[in-house]
């Protein structure tokens, strides 16, 4: 497998980073803010937000960069170059990697509501980013 960093669509990768950050903010603050906070034992979204160390947002950004870059590399290596193939690729990555690796940890902790919210966000995120990258090739 030969990877060509020069052939990556860097604008698509940057768009994925921005869209991904916006998506996760809306998912965890607007749509599921209260259930997410309660799943982690906080009284409400405000308390949970106050308890999150500021460095975690930096870690989240680095992870979004890695995810977007990694998806772009894998799509290039597998010839994903349309919206449809991007969506299919995203579904496969979400099921075979994101869900398969995240679910056991939540199962051992018996944190099912947290698992649904976290794994749901990662699944949808990967499909959205993969679709953007596939469509923009």
| pLDDT one-digit tens code per residue, 88-109 | 999 999 999 999 999 998 888 8
Work out the number of other CB atoms within 10 angstroms of the CB of residue 111.
Answer: 15
Instruction: Give dist(CA 48, CA 56) in Å, integer.
Output: 13
| pLDDT, tens only, 36-90 | 888 888 888 888 888 889 999 999 999 999 999 999 999 999 999 999 999 999 9
In 3D space, the residue among 3, 18, 10, 5 whose CA is nearest the CA of residue 136 turns out to be: 10
**Helices and strands per DSSP (H, E), number in the chain:** 7, 0
**What pTM did the predictor assign?**
0.92
Tell me how far apart the alpha carbons of residues 127 and 90 are, in angstroms, rounded to a whole number: 4
Cβ-Cβ contacts under 8 Å for 28 (sequence gap 6 or more): 36, 117, 121
């Amino acid at each position: 497998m030969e990877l060509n960093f020069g052939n990556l669509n860097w604008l698509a990768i940057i768009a994925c980073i921005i869209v991904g950050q916006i998506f996760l903010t809306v998912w965890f603050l607007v749509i599921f803010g209260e259930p997410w906070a309660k799943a982690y034992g906080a009284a409400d979204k405000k308390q949970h937000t106050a308890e999150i160390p500021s460095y975690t947002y930096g870690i989240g950004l680095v992870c979004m960069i890695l995810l977007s870059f990694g998806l772009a590399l894998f799509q290039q290596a597998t010839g994903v170059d349309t919206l449809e193939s991007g969506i299919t690729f995203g579904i496969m990555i979400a099921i075979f990697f994101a869900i398969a690796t995240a679910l056991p940890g939540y199962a051992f902790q018996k944190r099912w509501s947290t698992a649904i919210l976290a794994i749901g966000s990662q699944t949808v995120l990967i499909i959205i980013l993969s679709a953007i990258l596939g469509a923009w090739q």
